Structure 1
């Protein structure tokens, strides 16, 4: 028997919305595949997401409590098979995501006469919005606060989201007789089932108004620009998403705003290539430095550091500088900086340098043809 959704989140069956959301955030942070090293982290993360989705939806939670975990899961699988979708579970991550109900609603409607077509007259949270924010690698290393300007829907200031002027005449909707719902009765294998759906003529309000707001044209919302402060954590990767709570579209019927999902794009810089939490840097050194060894200065995102080049270093060798890479997001420590050295061949030599290098090659038993080129001959000896 799989673990029930309340146990997955570690909450009681009478837990409220805020308690469930807080438990979800903690569990999602613990099991997110980008953070956790546990072999079953991805599966646990999916369970946490599904538990959150079901327990925060009043209709799904009611069905879950009445059916029990096993029957609910069986119905979910059956609905997924019938629809070809992923059932009610859905997939996503702690910074965004979501899933569809598939064929599950048809099954639940047969049992309970409800589903997604039920009443929508209660408070509803606004839609989530998505945008993108570009930062450079230095910002991702340090963490940064950015000002982000977006265009988003806002509650209409002239009608306060009602969609009609305050002095408009209100008339009872004749389609639903002011109930906001239209009820149908149908025969199912379990008997006669009564199903309520939101009235399309009045959108569930039960009232028809003589005028619509000229500012929002009856929508109750207008688009406006908003400037938002985004705190980007150190160590973030390209493609990860930050969730800004209550910065999305306005809710309906007094419901809260949705969230704003900010996808982060980290732009590379010339000095470094990023590989997860590690950085790579190419360092040019001279032939004498490679032969005799030297102490060189290497750039890092936290300032230059010194690195020893051993005598006899070959071109293409890679050295590791511990903890000089990117900070590990939501974990302690840093990645590493890998320095790949490239021996640079000089293009021009003065007479003294040429004589010294010719003497070096001859001491090793090489015959030098100046016309051919000293370094072409020298390379073959290495």
Structure 2
């Protein structure tokens, strides 16, 4: 896994805060040491936590994008990211150090506009309820199931609210204390020297994530995340006529929400297996029907298989190999509508390759009667009928 925080979470550099949090929850569910079999799960889990901590903090993210991964870590070790302005002074420290102005510099507002400013008093806004992440899975169907419609059971592994702590991340009897990082305010203040003067910014406390509280112990099952990875068996009604590649939505069957928010949805991608007899195009079906040479010459009524039975098809005399016929209403049902598509039957005249003596004599008689040249005006099949 790459060290770059964006790569760790698998998000683009312009990802929103919600996208970053969703990506973190996905990684947390994948690499949680209690559920993952990856020998490096704990290390990957810690990296994902660190990436989320930095990229969901506006000021830290600005600094991270400005400095790059290595220099950001160096600045963090010297206190140039979380600490006061003194930690970043001198050579190799805070890139804005050494040019301090007085606090409340007239350039402060310009700096805030240029770099996006701080969070101000909105640090506790992260406590608002948020809907959980949508999840995605797939079900595979036979054509017969699609024709009739079916209730399909499937199993999905998804993040769930931790049953041990009910999503709190800590035991119910854990002691609660004011966060020592922010003294219970849910926010921390950073003073930084910049070329435009000294700037003071307020941000959500990274330790308590804006709650202002920390607990004496974390949940032993979810390790403080409030979520675990569980297997669930669900059933979904597949409507008749659904097509390969379409998606169904099951509301409220996705990942748990944040801060009491509703669950996300489960998106179900439908895959339809290829059929041994039929090819599908929209709601129409196509079937290749082999017929004998005499039936093509003289015509016949033949039985054609359909998805739910069989249908009769009249083959006119003189039918050519490759000719196509339509049987109305024997295709797939229209999705959430009335009626069906059509069944197209392509005739393939089979040339016999193992003739008995009687058949050979009949064909030889035909060849002698018709000669080697076929009269285009009379037509090949017409000549066969006339010879018999």
Residue pair 1:293, 1:308 contacting (<8 A) in 2 also: yes
Residue pair 2:147, 2:240 contacting (<8 A) in 1 also: yes
Residue pair 2:146, 2:238 contacting (<8 A) in 1 also: yes
1:1-382 to 2 correspondence within 5 Å?
Answer: 119-181=125-187, 197-366=203-372
Structure 1 segments, 4+ long, off by >4 Å, are: 109-114, 181-186, 194-197
Using a 3 Å threshold, how does the CA distance of structure 1 residues 294 and 267 change in structure 2: closer, same or farther? Answer: same
Separation in structure 2 between the aligned mates of residue 269 and residue 244 of structure 1, nearest angstrom: 28
Deviation for aligned residue 1:304: 0.6
Using a 3 Å threshold, how does the CA distance of structure 1 residues 265 and 298 change in structure 2: closer, same or farther? Answer: same
TM-score after normalising by structure 2: 0.60
Say which is worse superposed, 322-331 or 261-270, in terms of deviation: 322-331
Separation in structure 2 between the aligned mates of residue 331 and residue 280 of structure 1, nearest angstrom: 21
Using a 3 Å threshold, how does the CA distance of structure 1 residues 185 and 232 change in structure 2: closer, same or farther? Answer: farther
Using a 3 Å threshold, how does the CA distance of structure 1 residues 112 and 330 change in structure 2: closer, same or farther? Answer: farther
Gaps spanning 5+ residues in structure 2: where? 1-111, 193-199, 374-383
Residue pair 2:123, 2:186 contacting (<8 A) in 1 also: no
Residue pair 2:162, 2:227 contacting (<8 A) in 1 also: yes
RMSD between aligned residues: 3.3
What does the per-residue CA deviation read over 1:232-268, in whole Å, with 9 as the maximum and x for residues that have no partner?
A: 1111111111111111111122111111111111111
SS at match of 1:299: strand
Residue pair 2:333, 2:339 contacting (<8 A) in 1 also: yes
Q: How many residues align?
A: 260
What does the per-residue CA deviation read over 1:110-143, in whole Å, with 9 as the maximum and x for residues that have no partner?
A: 79979x9872102221111111111111111111
Separation in structure 1 between the aligned mates of residue 124 and residue 244 of structure 2, nearest angstrom: 40
Residue pair 1:325, 1:334 contacting (<8 A) in 2 also: yes
Separation in structure 2 between the aligned mates of residue 247 and residue 302 of structure 1, nearest angstrom: 34
Residue pair 1:119, 1:198 contacting (<8 A) in 2 also: no
Deviation for aligned residue 1:206: 1.8
TM-score after normalising by structure 1: 0.61
Gaps spanning 5+ residues in structure 1: where? 1-105, 187-193, 368-377
Using a 3 Å threshold, how does the CA distance of structure 1 residues 110 and 354 change in structure 2: closer, same or farther? Answer: same
Separation in structure 1 between the aligned mates of residue 213 and residue 169 of structure 2, nearest angstrom: 12
